[in-house]
């Protein structure tokens, strides 16, 4: 027998003063006109994570089916969650202990991502959290009834009150983004930055656009046009495949541009400023990362012939140096299928970027092959590089495109850069390396993902930078993650990898398999799971200190 909203409010009032666990009676589905409310999870006490609720709409959904592609549907779900979040902000305040009265809709960034909290199928399901009110550990039933009366009111009017113009704009933006992203390869581009884009953020910790920023304007020589399905023709800078340098004086906006390109693998909401920054889907930022763990990587393309005959063909360390960690990050990205690598000189070990003529002359027994000597090999593999350089001029010899940032605006200076390279020869030798740029696949063993190693079995995301996995704290700070819910998904996927790993399946296939399941967002019945790419899942696996891999022959 379905219980009505009247029953719900009556039950809440009747719980007044009872011990908190009586809230468990709420579990299950409550029904009224047009929509139902399901208590997915009821918290055990007021200090625990708030309860999980799901509202389900069966009717009035026709107006929502405005999308023409999967990306549009994801954007619609994203929009609905954001709208719900805004609407529930005006719920009455309820006091009490712990999380009493807290309402939380898990949308943590301006990225348009598939999230567990929103799903439109036959029905529309939206999930959120709500802290059931208590004083101490006694139920505040009357307060709860007042809160739910208002909540039901808000949910009842939710679909009718949606801003349909904003909804359309949201969906269309994401579909236009996807349209450009799919066409970048055939246009020979790795990224597109629309004219008028606002790239800088308000501050290092803010995701909001900087007010009063200089809008982006493409250099005429790099300007391309896309005719997208909804917005018509959009103009902007197209970054070609190959080696692109972003250069310029300090503080002229180099890193800001690179950062925007890194973020551009995901669509952004209208108003973000980066809506028309579109980066190819298989792009990844790599950087030095002192102290990280590396497991079984064939580092020889970059690190070789160590003293005392130490082998680097199956290299592991618990404490990688700046150069080793960058070498590993590049090779791991290639192993996972990255097609474009982003690097900033600021966060890259210099000795892995370049060795200049003087050091070549002085040091004969060199153990590092710098990236500069691998540019040709990378291009032969079809991998592009976008490199921010302010100090290292040796790359000018090899660059296909050079963008100079001046007063936050880009100029194309490829010709000038070639002329400088000719008039200022470096005298540097470009040698053949003894070790080809090859990346043998590695297969993780299942015990890598056993969270019961050690005493504590727990899987928990902490912020954007850490995943607690059993006893281990996996450092994710070098990954480009934007929501804690992505970290949480990584944790859930690690558990799935424990079942999928067999010591024979290459890491790339393994992470794709882990992500390919239909019910990805049903892994846990929580609202806080949002999509991540195979590149991030693979990068997280590579940072697991408990990782055990087997080499497979390429
Ligand atoms: P660089 O990497 O060249 O040293 P950054 O990208 O770090 O420079 O930018 C330096 C500062 O300029 C940052 O504080 C950034 O927010 C600001 N900035 C970047 N782009 C713009 C812009 N388009 N308009 C206004 N300020 C900007
Ligand atoms: Mg910089």
Q: Exposure of 423 by Cβ count < 10 A (0-12 exposed, 13-18 middle, 19+ buried)?
A: exposed
Which stretch of DSSP H or E encloses residue 340?
A: strand 340-344
pLDDT at 313: 96
| First vs last C-alpha separation in the chain | 60
Residue 554 or residue 407, greater confidence = 407
Q: Are 47 and 33 contacting, i.e. CB atoms less than 8 angstroms apart?
A: no
The full set of domain ranges for the chain reads 3-162, 283-423, 442-551
Ligand 1: atom nearest CA of 409 is: 23
> Would you say residue 446 has pLDDT above 70?
yes
> Would you say residue 2 has pLDDT above 90?
no
Candidate of 193, 200, 216 to mutate for ligand 1, largest count of ligand atoms within 8 Å of Cβ: 200
Long-range CB contacts for residues 374-377, cutoff 8 Å, separation at least 24: 374/301, 374/302, 374/433, 374/437, 375/243, 377/301, 377/436, 377/437
- Average pLDDT value for the chain: 95
Give the residue, by CA position, lying nearest to ligand 1 atom 23.
Answer: 214
Q: Are 125 and 76 contacting, i.e. CB atoms less than 8 angstroms apart?
A: no
Looking only at the bridges linking them, the beta strands covering 28-31 and 35-41 are antiparallel
Q: Which residue has the tokens 């009035």?
A: 60
* Ligand 1 cavity residues, CB under 6 Å: 199-200, 210, 213-214, 248, 250-256, 405, 408
Q: Are 46 and 137 contacting, i.e. CB atoms less than 8 angstroms apart?
A: yes
331-360: per-residue pLDDT in tens? 999 999 999 999 999 999 999 999 999 999
Please give the order of strands across the beta sheet that includes 459-462: 459-462, 466-469, 472-475
- How far is the centre of ligand 1, averaged over its atoms, from the C-alpha of 421 (Å)? 27
Token pair, residue 471, equals: 């006893």
> Would you say residue 553 has pLDDT above 80?
no
pLDDT at 456: 63
Q: Are 137 and 18 contacting, i.e. CB atoms less than 8 angstroms apart?
A: no
Burial of 251-278, coded b for 16+ CB within 10 Å and e otherwise, reads ebbbbbbbbbbbbbbbbbbeebbbbbbb
Q: Which of 466, 458, 521, 453 is nearest to 489 (CA)?
A: 521
Token pair, residue 376, equals: 């040709």
- CA–CA dist 469, 492 (Å, integer): 10
> Would you say residue 369 has pLDDT above 80?
yes
487-509: per-residue pLDDT in tens? 999 999 999 999 999 999 999 99
449-481: per-residue pLDDT in tens? 998 765 667 888 888 999 999 989 999 999 999
213-269: per-residue pLDDT in tens? 999 999 999 999 999 999 999 999 999 999 999 999 999 999 999 999 999 999 999
- How far is the centre of ligand 1, averaged over its atoms, from the C-alpha of 276 (Å)? 19
- DSSP track, 180-191: HHHHTGGGTEEE
Phi, psi of 380 (to 5 degrees): -60, -30
Map residue 512 onto helix, strand or coil: helix
- How far is the centre of ligand 1, averaged over its atoms, from the C-alpha of 249 (Å)? 11
> Would you say residue 406 has pLDDT above 80?
yes
Give the residue, by CA position, lying nearest to ligand 1 atom 6.
Answer: 253
What average pLDDT does the segment 282-286 reach?
98
- How far is the centre of ligand 2, averaged over its atoms, from the C-alpha of 410 (Å)? 14
Candidate of 256, 257, 342 to mutate for ligand 1, largest count of ligand atoms within 8 Å of Cβ: 256
Q: H-type helices in 371-447, by residue range?
A: 375-380, 414-423
Give how far the C-alpha of residue 186 lies from the chain's centroid of Cα atoms, to the nearest Å: 25
pLDDT at 461: 86
> Would you say residue 142 has pLDDT above 70?
yes
What average pLDDT does the segment 19-31 reach?
97
Give how far the C-alpha of residue 365 lies from the chain's centroid of Cα atoms, to the nearest Å: 40
Ligand 1: atom nearest CA of 248 is: 3
- CA–CA dist 476, 357 (Å, integer): 36
> Would you say residue 520 has pLDDT above 90?
no
- How far is the centre of ligand 2, averaged over its atoms, from the C-alpha of 418 (Å)? 23
Q: Ligand 2 (ion): which residues have CB within 5 A?
A: 254-255, 346
Phi, psi of 390 (to 5 degrees): -120, -25
pLDDT at 1: 64
**Residue 127 confidence class, pLDDT cut points 50, 70, 90:** very high
pLDDT at 554: 61
Q: Are 495 and 459 contacting, i.e. CB atoms less than 8 angstroms apart?
A: yes
The CA radius of gyration of the chain, in Å to the nearest whole number, is 26
Q: Is 503 left (phi over 0), alpha (psi -120 to 50) or beta?
A: left
- CA–CA dist 471, 320 (Å, integer): 21
pLDDT at 455: 61
């Amino acid at each position: 027998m379905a219980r009505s909203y009247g029953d719900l409010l009556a039950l809440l009032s009747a719980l007044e003063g009872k011990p908190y666990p009586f809230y468990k009676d709420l579990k299950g589905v409550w029904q009224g006109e047009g929509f139902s409310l399901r208590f997915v999870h009821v918290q055990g006490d007021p200090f625990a994570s708030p309860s999980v609720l799901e509202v389900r709409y069966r009717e009035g959904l026709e107006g929502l089916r405005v999308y023409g592609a999967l990306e549009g549907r994801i954007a619609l779900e994203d929009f609905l969650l954001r709208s719900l979040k805004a609407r529930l902000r005006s719920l009455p305040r309820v006091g009490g202990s712990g999380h009493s009265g807290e309402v939380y809709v898990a949308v943590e960034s301006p990225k348009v991502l598939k999230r567990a909290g929103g799903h439109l199928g036959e029905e529309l399901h939206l999930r959120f959290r709500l802290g059931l009110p208590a004083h101490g550990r006694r139920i505040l039933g009357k307060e709860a009834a007042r809160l739910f009366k208002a909540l039901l009111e808000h949910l009842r009017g939710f679909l009718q009150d949606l801003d349909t113009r904003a909804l359309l704009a949201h969906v269309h933006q994401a579909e236009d983004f996807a349209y450009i992203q799919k066409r970048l390869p055939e246009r020979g581009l790795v990224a597109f930055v629309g004219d008028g884009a606002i790239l800088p953020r308000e501050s290092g910790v803010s995701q909001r656009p900087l007010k009063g920023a200089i809008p982006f304007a493409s250099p005429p020589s790099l300007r391309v046009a896309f005719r997208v399905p909804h917005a018509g023709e959009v103009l902007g800078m197209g970054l070609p495949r190959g080696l692109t340098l972003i250069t310029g004086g300090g503080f002229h906006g180099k890193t800001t541009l690179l950062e925007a390109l890194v973020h551009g693998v995901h669509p952004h909401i209208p108003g973000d400023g980066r809506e028309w920054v579109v980066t190819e889907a298989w792009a990844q930022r790599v950087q030095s990362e002192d102290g990280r763990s590396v497991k079984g990587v064939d580092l020889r393309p970059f690190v070789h012939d160590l003293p005392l005959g130490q082998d680097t063909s199956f290299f592991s360390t618990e404490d990688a140096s700046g150069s080793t960690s960058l070498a590993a990050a590049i090779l791991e990205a290639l192993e996972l299928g990255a097609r474009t690598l982003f690097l900033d000189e600021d966060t890259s070990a210099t000795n892995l970027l370049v060795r200049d003529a003087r050091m070549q002359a002085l040091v004969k027994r060199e153990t590092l092959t710098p990236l500069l000597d691998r540019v040709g090999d990378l291009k032969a593999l079809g991998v592009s590089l976008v490199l921010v350089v302010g100090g290292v001029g040796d790359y000018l010899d090899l660059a296909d495109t050079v963008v100079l940032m001046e007063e936050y605006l880009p100029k194309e200076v490829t010709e000038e850069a070639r002329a400088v390279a000719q008039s200022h020869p470096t005298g540097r030798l470009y040698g053949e390396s003894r070790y080809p740029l090859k990346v043998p696949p590695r297969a993780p063993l299942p015990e890598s993902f056993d969270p019961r190693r050690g005493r504590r079995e727990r899987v928990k995301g902490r912020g954007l930078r850490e995943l607690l996995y059993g006893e281990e704290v996996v450092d994710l700070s070098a990954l480009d993650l934007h929501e804690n819910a992505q970290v949480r998904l990584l944790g859930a996927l690690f558990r799935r990898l424990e079942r999928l790993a067999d010591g024979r399946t290459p890491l790339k296939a393994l992470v794709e398999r882990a992500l390919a399941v239909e019910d990805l967002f049903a892994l846990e019945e929580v609202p806080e799971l949002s999509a991540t790419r195979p590149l991030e899942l693979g990068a997280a696996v590579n940072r697991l200190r408990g990782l055990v891999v087997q080499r497979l022959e390429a």
